[in-house]
Amino acid sequence: MSFPKILSANWGVPDNHHINVAMSRGQYDVAREVLGGARTPDDITAEVKKSGLRGRGGAGFPAGMKWGFLPKNDPRPRYLVINADESEPGTYKDRRILENDPHMLIEGCILASYAIQAHACYIYVRGEFWHQQSILRQAVQEAYHKGFLGKNCFGSGYHLDITVHSGAGAYICGEETALLTSLEGERGYPRLKPPFPATHGLFQCPTVVNNVETIANVPWIVRHGGDAYSQIGKYVVGPDGRPQVDSRGTRLMCASGAINKPGVHEIPLGIGLMEYIDEYCGGVKGELKAAIPGGSSCPILTADEVRSVEMTYESMAKHGTMFGSGGLIVLEQQTSLVWVLHNLLRFYSHESCGQCTPCREGTDWLYKILGRMLQGKGTEDDLREVLDIADNMEGRTICALAAAATMPTRSYIQKFREEFVSYFVKGGRPVDRRGRYLHPVAPVGAAV
Amino acid sequence: MATFSLNGKQVEAPDGLNLIEAAKLHGVDIPHYCYHPGLSVAGNCRMCLCEVEGARGPQIACGQQVRDGLVVRTDTPAVEKMRRGVQEFLLLNHPIDCPICDQAGECRLQDYYMEYGQYDNRSDVPKIQKEKALDIGPMVVLDQERCILCTRCVRFCEEISDSHELVVTGRGDTSVIETFPGKDLDNPYSGNVVDICPVGALTSKDFRFKMRVWFMKTAKSICTGCSRGCNIYMDHKDAMVYRYRPRENACVNGYWMSDAGRLSYKSLHENRLPHVRVRGVEAPIGDALREVAGLLEGSRPPGAFAVVGSAFSSLEANAALWHFAEAFMPGASRFAWDPTPAGVEDSFLLRGDKSPNRTGVQYLGYEMSREALLATLRSPSLEVVWVMGNDLAQDPEVADALRGVSSVVYFGAHDNATARLASYVFPVATHAEQLGSFVNFQGRVQRFFKAFEAPGDAVAEYELLSRIGQWLTPQFGWSDVEDVWALLRSWRTELGDTSWYSLGDAGYQIPSFGEAQAAPKGLGRVEALAGSVLR
């Protein structure tokens, strides 16, 4: 289907990260107009609300609604914080935005800051993204030099400072409250909620935390209107003439794994997952076994489910998984899911911040048990134990990292139990360093 | 007040009160490790999970404030499973070295395992090894393996001592508590982290391996380290004090005490005087009492007597001495000077005045001037001086003057220079060995209780004075502290109809000293109540 490319339109344009190139393609026009007095802050918020734009960081919370939660008539300063701590395994879309179109993000920051009347905006970039950081920092400098940022943006009297802050390489700092704590200079521990960032965020002031991709959509939405954005996508219109799903617009998908064309693709929401794999990713390499649709913390989908799920938040939820951050990982038949889960749990046990007991101890315990299973020393009791430990962890912690480890764990074991059981032989089953069986196996769990 | 439902019962608690505290008011114990009423809420141990109606999933009680209509259950099978789960996680990498752990017997891990754990061990993964017996400061030893990372100690150093020595480093289950690089845990309140540590991770260098806690008994007492008078628990066994622990009093010391005060128990047992001495020779107490009573018989010229009370003795002892002087020493001057120098003072608990009862002796009317005392001691008409508690002879001039007095009667618990130059030495009980009270700098009467019997001949000062007085007037004396308190009441009408036994564990603020003073920062539940310190 045809749709306007919003986020990736200028990717590949030479030197697009320089402000003059970006401006020649119309970047900053909207911000200049808006700050010049063409639109009120409430207007912008209303436009974003109308667009139905949902947060692209993982939780999918409607962006306009989030902005609306800030307390009115509060004397404290307000902050906009951009979450560019993209660390979810399988996800690498924000990094492409930072590399290819940093000015789109900066313009989005100006518009969003204006909408919530923030005069300081922080972009918290993942520590490992040093290259992307240098591009972004240069872009911010250029915007300052042009007078688009600083004391008097576009000569409008509105002032806004954007600070690029580097993380130090912790997955947990992508959790919004941990990000705020880290930004304040403390150890990146998630905070108890409530109070929520909307009322007690950065420096205990009202704060909006948005993902890079979410904010990068804002200039387009303000320019073309929320209605235009909400019409993008493939959805069924109900009898009242309104779309039946709340998943509108485009989003970036990052495909990896057993596909022919891995990469970041901008897709209209609502198309089938299999359609995406076939049309954008060049099809599955080998025989489809399963797919993780939205980053490593999402429950896994079996081949059958992959064929029936649509790329909407609603369809994903109906299939018991999440759209998450759009990091699709496709797994083919020869890949050992025990190995995959073990690999995943190593990540989560390494990245658990250690604040809450269940996650601190549980993630590593699961990892160690999976390690034992991988060596063929597991038993049926171990599987029961793993599920019980997962029960004791999930929903018992301050943030969702424990759930990010347990949701996949549970779904892998429930959906591919035979494969886990097949490991209960002495020595396990040999795999190569990418987790593929050395001795080809008959398809498991797939409709063949 | 808010009405809320706790395990199906409608109960009342102050609006905004922390749920753990509110449940405690109604006899429901919610297990917890990281929550401490004097610190901010961290919510990390997850032991206090409970079911709150309308909430998404289980909620931590320490993060809940009481409000109208709150519906909480802490007794469902689901909650039991959560607690068992958390307990299992906490013990997963715990060394379980209880037999050699100093915390054994007062360890939350042990207590809660018995109460909420009781599962069969199913962990066969290797435990994570961390550092043991780390010397992190003058008071504290750290065992990282036993630590459950509740961060109470870290929060203490941030919020109460404001010294920031302790930090969490590492991530996940390799996280450890450590001192900040280049720093020692050496703030003047560092010993408190041992008290608030719910497990055996932080142990007291002074106390560890000296005594198993289950052998000790505990008495409510008052620290004598300075004029703040921190409320304490005195842990003792076989007439030996092993440690002081702070006892909650929101108006005085909150939940804390200073390290100097904590170690002040040591002086209790040093150089004890067990026996009566007359002119340097041990003597039977009966003979000595009769002889001393003889000093007061007959008529003497004015200026023949002086008494020296003590800011280190109880209010009751000083009151008894005052009354004793009134009764048997016509025209006696009454002093309460002592040579103790002023010490370190800070804006938190430590007071410069290192005596526990100076406000008390001043309240009774004792003359505090050194010059006046010297002039009296040097006066040729002085025949008998009665010294209680203080080691006056530490001051060379006063010592010289004392040598010139024909009879020096000394009441004291410890052997010292004054005792050596006194003609009559009577051992008295320390504050661990009798009932009594001190008046702290705020004008607050705070009681201490008898922990064990005094050694040898030692008895309470008022008892000794009663026995001497009875040689002269058979009806004289007091049978217990309540009698002495009645004497005080007869002197000071503002004490009204108070009685010693009903003064209360939090103390009694003498009205003429004004309202109870505002507690210093971090003191007490007030802050925890407000709920504004969620982090």
Chain A residues in contact with B88 by the CB 8 A cut-off are 392
Gap from A428 CA to chain B (nearest CA, Å): 18
pLDDT of residue B530: 34
Select from B44, B58, B172 the Cβ nearest to the Cβ of A352. Answer: B172
Q: Predicted confidence band at B518 (pLDDT cuts at 50, 70, 90)?
A: low
Gap from A181 CA to chain B (nearest CA, Å): 10
Dig out the tokens for A83 from the structure. Answer: 């979450």
- Assess contact for A36 and A153: CB atoms under 8 A: no
pLDDT of residue A247: 87
Whole-angstrom CA distances from A36 to A22, A427, B4 are: 20, 70, 54
pLDDT in tens, A327-336: 999 999 999 9
- Assess contact for B246 and B255: CB atoms under 8 A: yes
d(CA A254, CA B459): 84
pLDDT in tens, A404-429: 999 999 999 999 999 999 999 888 88
Torsion angle (degrees, nearest 10) of CA A130, A135, A141, A146: -170
Q: Predicted confidence band at A170 (pLDDT cuts at 50, 70, 90)?
A: very high
A431: amino acid identity, one letter: V
Average pLDDT over chain A, rounded to an integer: 93
Gap from A296 CA to chain B (nearest CA, Å): 19
B120: amino acid identity, one letter: D
Segment B396-400 mean pLDDT = 95
Segment A101-110 mean pLDDT = 97
Query: Using the beta-carbon criterion (under 8 Å), do B167 and A361 form an inter-chain contact?
Result: no
The DSSP element (H or E) to which B446 belongs, if any, is strand B444-448
Dig out the tokens for B148 from the structure. Answer: 């459950």
Beta bridge partners of B307: B334, B386
Nearest residue in A to B63, CA atom? A192
Query: Using the beta-carbon criterion (under 8 Å), do B168 and A187 form an inter-chain contact?
Result: yes
Chain A residues in contact with B78 by the CB 8 A cut-off are none
Nearest residue in A to B121, CA atom? A385
Whole-angstrom CA distances from B532 to A21, B187, B266, B418 are: 49, 26, 40, 54
d(CA A291, CA A336): 13
Select from A192, A354, A369 the Cβ nearest to the Cβ of B43. Answer: A192
Gap from A251 CA to chain B (nearest CA, Å): 29
pLDDT in tens, A213-249: 999 999 999 999 999 999 898 877 777 777 777 888 9
Q: Predicted confidence band at B514 (pLDDT cuts at 50, 70, 90)?
A: confident
pLDDT of residue B517: 61
Chain B residues in contact with A369 by the CB 8 A cut-off are 125
Q: Predicted confidence band at B516 (pLDDT cuts at 50, 70, 90)?
A: low
Q: Which of A361, A367, A387, A401 to mutate to test the interface with B (most CBs of B within 10 A)?
A: A361
Higher-confidence residue of B5 and B531: namely B5
Chain A residues in contact with B158 by the CB 8 A cut-off are none
Chain B residues in contact with A368 by the CB 8 A cut-off are 125-126
Query: Using the beta-carbon criterion (under 8 Å), do A358 and B46 form an inter-chain contact?
Result: yes
Is B22 strand, coil or helix?
Answer: helix
Residue found under tokens 């005080």: B488
pLDDT in tens, B80-117: 999 999 999 999 999 999 999 999 999 999 999 999 98
d(CA B116, CA B96): 17
pLDDT of residue B520: 60
Query: Using the beta-carbon criterion (under 8 Å), do A356 and B46 form an inter-chain contact?
Result: yes
Select from B89, B170, B174 the Cβ nearest to the Cβ of A357. Answer: B89
Query: Using the beta-carbon criterion (under 8 Å), do A361 and B90 form an inter-chain contact?
Result: yes
Q: What is the ipTM of this complex?
A: 0.93
Dig out the tokens for A137 from the structure. Answer: 């920092």
pLDDT in tens, B290-338: 999 999 988 888 889 999 999 999 999 999 999 999 999 988 999 999 9
Distance of CA B430 to the CA centre of its chain: 14
d(CA A29, CA A25): 9
- Assess contact for B232 and B221: CB atoms under 8 A: yes
Beta bridge partners of A290: A302, A331
Average pLDDT over chain B, rounded to an integer: 92
Asked if pLDDT for residue B532 goes beyond 60, the answer is no
DSSP 8-state assignment for residue B18: B
Between chain A and chain B, the number of residue pairs with CB atoms below 8 A apart is: 96
Query: Using the beta-carbon criterion (under 8 Å), do A361 and B149 form an inter-chain contact?
Result: no
Query: Using the beta-carbon criterion (under 8 Å), do B174 and A349 form an inter-chain contact?
Result: no
Alpha helices, H only, B237-378: 259-263, 285-295, 315-328, 358-364, 370-378
Query: Using the beta-carbon criterion (under 8 Å), do A354 and B149 form an inter-chain contact?
Result: yes
Query: Using the beta-carbon criterion (under 8 Å), do B89 and A361 form an inter-chain contact?
Result: yes
pLDDT in tens, A427-444: 888 899 889 998 877 665
Gap from B173 CA to chain A (nearest CA, Å): 5
CA angle A55, A61, A63 (to 5 degrees): 60
Q: Is the peptide bond before B246 cis (omega within 30 degrees of 0)?
A: no
Order of all β-strands in the sheet with A327-332? A263-268, A250-257, A327-332, A288-292, A301-302
pLDDT of residue B298: 81
Query: Using the beta-carbon criterion (under 8 Å), do B86 and A396 form an inter-chain contact?
Result: yes
Q: What percent of chain B lies above the pLDDT cut of 70? A: 96
Gap from A374 CA to chain B (nearest CA, Å): 14
d(CA B404, CA B378): 7
Asked if pLDDT for residue A185 goes beyond 70, the answer is yes
Asked if pLDDT for residue A401 goes beyond 70, the answer is yes
The DSSP element (H or E) to which B12 belongs, if any, is strand B9-13
Chain B residues in contact with A191 by the CB 8 A cut-off are 534-535
Gap from B363 CA to chain A (nearest CA, Å): 48
